[in-house]
Amino acid sequence: MKAFICTFMTLALVFSMTACSSRKSETPSSSAEPSSSFESSSAPPVSSIAPSSEPSSSMSKPEIVEDIESGASNLKSTVESMVTPTMSTDFDKIGALDAAQVKWGPGVQVDEQNRTVGSEMMQEQYGRFDAYFIAPEDCGKLYLTFDEGYENGYTPQILDVLKEKQVSAVFFVTLPFVKSEPELIQRMIDEGHVIGNHTSHHWNPTQKSLDEAAQDIKELHDYMKDTFDYEMSLYRPPEGAFSEQTLAMVQQMGYTTALWSFAYADWDPNNQMGYDKALERTCRFIHEGGIYLLHAVSKDNAEILGELIDNIRDKGLTVSKWDLS
């Protein structure tokens, strides 16, 4: 598409110059004698935007052709810069938004559809920033997401279960995890999972300047692109911390923010609740449109995952690949 636009505009520019030059050669000059050659035409240079009050020096054909080519090259660069997407980090317009920190946790209060009430309220309040706390109640889906700060030996088992159950999940990774576990990252990509941006340093974004918080995202984004040719587009804020300003920043960078409608105390490897309690807890809150946050360092999560997926399906829901945007 870019090539077509550039070619079209270049041809238009050449025809315009030819027509302009032709009219100049046919129009009487300021002297009594009409111009008899193209070389003696007083047409302004192609690069000129506004007509000069002084007549320009005459130009030879090679000079005009060279100037046309130069103008076409500049035009092509301009068009390409207009249609090539870039990760914006100009946050001047965000300053008017609220900078107050919100730390998210959905709570346990549910409605008649078993959907966490807090998630629905937050979705209504912050959804305009391309942020998701919960999916629509009539979607028929539930989404599994895993946070990966470091590898504790359970990610391969989790991937095995997902493959067996033919489920695609989201893995929110940090830069240290990506650098230390390239084979797991490649496996996630190869097996059709979504890899989300959990930042480079796991900083609370509301405790940094917008530029610093953006760089924390961009560093991981660029590393994934350069190393795995993978374009990240989904973001989860460390600590579940955000503000209107940080949500708008992430949105401006071309990302969708994924929070969650269910999580539980699974992040401490030394304080696991055991198979039965973990399964009961995760199954109790199954709901349509659910976005589940699970930590991959958890032994409980690795062990209950297959049965959890079965329970979700038994309730008539699809364990879906991320498709919210």
The reply to whether 325 falls in a domain is no
The reply to whether 93 falls in a domain is no
| CA-based radius of gyration for the chain | 29
Mean pLDDT value across residues 129-133? 98
| Interacting residues of 121 by C-beta distance below 8 A, sequence separation 6+ | none
What proportion of the chain, given as a percentage, has pLDDT over 90? 70
- Are 122 and 178 in the same domain? yes
Helical spans, DSSP H, in 59-129: 61-83, 117-126
The CATH number that applies at residue 189 is 3.20.20.370
Q: Tokens representing 80?
A: 């390409």
Q: How far apart are CA 300 and CA 53, in angstroms?
A: 81
Residue matched to tokens 């946790």: 105
The reported pLDDT for the residue numbered 92 is 75
In this predicted structure, the answer to whether residue 169 has a pLDDT above a threshold of 80 is yes
3 state SS of 146: strand
- Are 280 and 150 in the same domain? yes
- Are 152 and 20 in the same domain? no
The reply to whether 96 falls in a domain is no
**From the candidates 130, 147, 266, 300, which is the catalytic residue?**
147
The reply to whether 211 falls in a domain is yes
- Are 72 and 176 in the same domain? no
The reply to whether 324 falls in a domain is no
Confidence band of 88 (pLDDT split at 50, 70, 90): low
- Are 174 and 38 in the same domain? no
The reply to whether 79 falls in a domain is yes
The pLDDT tens digits of the residues spanning 181-222 come to 999 999 999 999 999 999 999 999 999 999 999 999 999 999
| Interacting residues of 312 by C-beta distance below 8 A, sequence separation 6+ | 142, 286, 319
The pLDDT tens digits of the residues spanning 252-292 come to 999 999 999 999 999 999 999 999 999 999 999 999 999 99
The reply to whether 130 falls in a domain is yes
Specify the higher pLDDT residue, 3 or 150: 150
Specify the higher pLDDT residue, 107 or 283: 283
- Are 73 and 112 in the same domain? no
**From the candidates 193, 198, 221, 295, which is the catalytic residue?**
295
| Active-site annotation holds for 295 | yes
Q: Mean of the per-residue pLDDT values for the chain?
A: 81
Residue 210's H or E segment, with its range, is helix 210-228
The reply to whether 255 falls in a domain is yes
Mean pLDDT value across residues 134-159? 98
- Are 150 and 276 in the same domain? yes
Mean pLDDT value across residues 97-110? 94
In this predicted structure, the answer to whether residue 58 has a pLDDT above a threshold of 70 is no
In this predicted structure, the answer to whether residue 7 has a pLDDT above a threshold of 80 is no
The reported pLDDT for the residue numbered 93 is 82
User: Which domain range does residue 72 map to?
Assistant: 2-24+33-83
- Are 19 and 107 in the same domain? no
Q: How far apart are CA 147 and CA 158, in angstroms?
A: 12
| Active-site annotation holds for 226 | no
3 state SS of 34: coil
In this predicted structure, the answer to whether residue 81 has a pLDDT above a threshold of 80 is no
- Are 55 and 143 in the same domain? no
Q: How many CB atoms lie within 10 A of CB 287?
A: 24
In this predicted structure, the answer to whether residue 61 has a pLDDT above a threshold of 80 is no
In this predicted structure, the answer to whether residue 90 has a pLDDT above a threshold of 90 is no
In this predicted structure, the answer to whether residue 64 has a pLDDT above a threshold of 80 is no
Q: How far apart are CA 249 and CA 88, in angstroms?
A: 9
The pLDDT tens digits of the residues spanning 30-51 come to 333 333 332 333 333 322 233 3
- Are 183 and 297 in the same domain? yes
The pLDDT tens digits of the residues spanning 226-237 come to 999 999 999 999
pTM, 2 dp: 0.74
- Are 291 and 195 in the same domain? yes
The reported pLDDT for the residue numbered 167 is 98
Give me the number of domains the chain comprises. Answer: 2
- Are 79 and 163 in the same domain? no
In this predicted structure, the answer to whether residue 19 has a pLDDT above a threshold of 90 is no
